[in-house]
Amino acid sequence: MSGYPDVRLRRLRRTEAIRRLVAETALSPSDLVCPLFVTHGRGVKSEIESMPGVYQYSVDVLPREANEIAKLGIKAVILFGIPQEKDDVGSGAYDPDGVVQQAIRAIKESTPDLAVITDVCLCEYTDHGHCGVVADGEVENDRTLELLARTALSHAAAGADIVAPSAMMDGQVMAIRGALDGSSFAHIPILAYAAKYASAFYGPFRDAAGSAPQFGDRRSYQMDPANVVEALREVEQDIAEGADMVMVKPALAYLDVIRRVRDGFDRPLAAYNVSGEYSMVKAAAARGWIDERRSVMEILTAIKRAGADIIITYHAREAAAWLGGEGG
């Protein structure tokens, strides 16, 4: 009984009911995190050209959006801010009344059960577009840490449930953990963008957030796509510094990295299905070249199969609706 004709693997693929019974990976709306871009103004819902179906919202319309998202069975959103003004030290990132801080308060007031995750970085807030402070054309690691800690603290003070540092500065998790613990926020978890690669797939996001670097690129702080052993070191460091959860980003070209992290570490693992990955699907689907629903489900299932517990994705709302909402 070790091979054909005794073994017939097709037996378990004969009907949809049997296929579902033996499925090894199941997606649920509660696996998904929905990114939201927040901008100034009132009554704003403006579509991002390179990301059809994704919008920048003003704070006043967020409660309605948050409500819809929660109704779909999604448990968390991650916020990105587009400030009115930028400067060389990213002041908008840690302004107690900045656009993200206002957004946190609005969502926690209207939809308290929805977890609010915040992206802790300076790139949307600096006029040069880099993730930290710049001196002599270099992004300065240690001076940036204090600003990231201030940013995380301001998010926690506004009511954020989870902070997610994404600047790829060494020591950022330790700096943020220390700041939170020193200010009565010891209960706030850190989701570390641990293995974040210098990726071309962030292109549409930089449109959406107006955060493209004005000179150079991010390769002196984000990881080289050629490396995976180094990703494990990043994860190890972030956990040692106090990360409660870790992330691999992007997702699709890095499924092997997700698998290696899953096998090597016992922390909840998130994967970020990034903007370029979303836009490629949307563009091909709009031309009728691929079936959008099947492609999205296949992609999200594959990310989960690779080992992710949590998937941050711009497809979150549509996917959750396809999965049947609450309890789906």
By CB under 6 A, name the binding residues for ligand PBG: 119, 121, 123, 166, 202, 205-206, 274-275
304 in active site = no
Nearer to ligand PBG, 251 or 323 (CB): 251
Cβ atoms of 65 and 36 within 8 Å: the answer is yes
Smallest distance from ligand PBG to CB 81, Å: 10
Query: φ, ψ for residue 258 (rounded to 5)?
Result: -55, -45
- 176 sits in the region (left: phi over 0; alpha: psi -120 to 50; else beta) called alpha
Smallest distance from ligand PBG to CB 275, Å: 3
249 in active site = yes
Nearer to ligand PBG, 34 or 123 (CB): 123
Smallest distance from ligand PBG to CB 271, Å: 12
Smallest distance from ligand PBG to CB 51, Å: 9
The one catalytic residue in 86, 108, 196, 304 is 196
Smallest distance from ligand PBG to CB 82, Å: 11
d(CA 85, CA 102): 16
Cis status, amide bond into 35, omega within 30 of 0: no
Nearer to ligand PBG, 67 or 91 (CB): 91
Nearer to ligand PBG, 67 or 255 (CB): 255
Nearer to ligand PBG, 121 or 258 (CB): 121
Smallest distance from ligand PBG to CB 203, Å: 7
Nearer to ligand PBG, 52 or 63 (CB): 52
d(CA 226, CA 307): 20
Smallest distance from ligand PBG to CB 163, Å: 13
Q: How many CB atoms lie within 10 A of CB 21?
A: 9
The CA-based angle 259-261-262, given to 5 degrees, is 65
The one catalytic residue in 71, 75, 108, 249 is 249
Nearer to ligand PBG, 29 or 90 (CB): 90
Q: Which residue lies nearest ligand PBG, judged by its C-beta?
A: 205
Which value, to the nearest 10 degrees, does the dihedral of the CA atoms of residues 271, 204, 33, 240 take? 40
Residue keyed to tokens 């995380």: 152
Catalytic residues: 196, 249
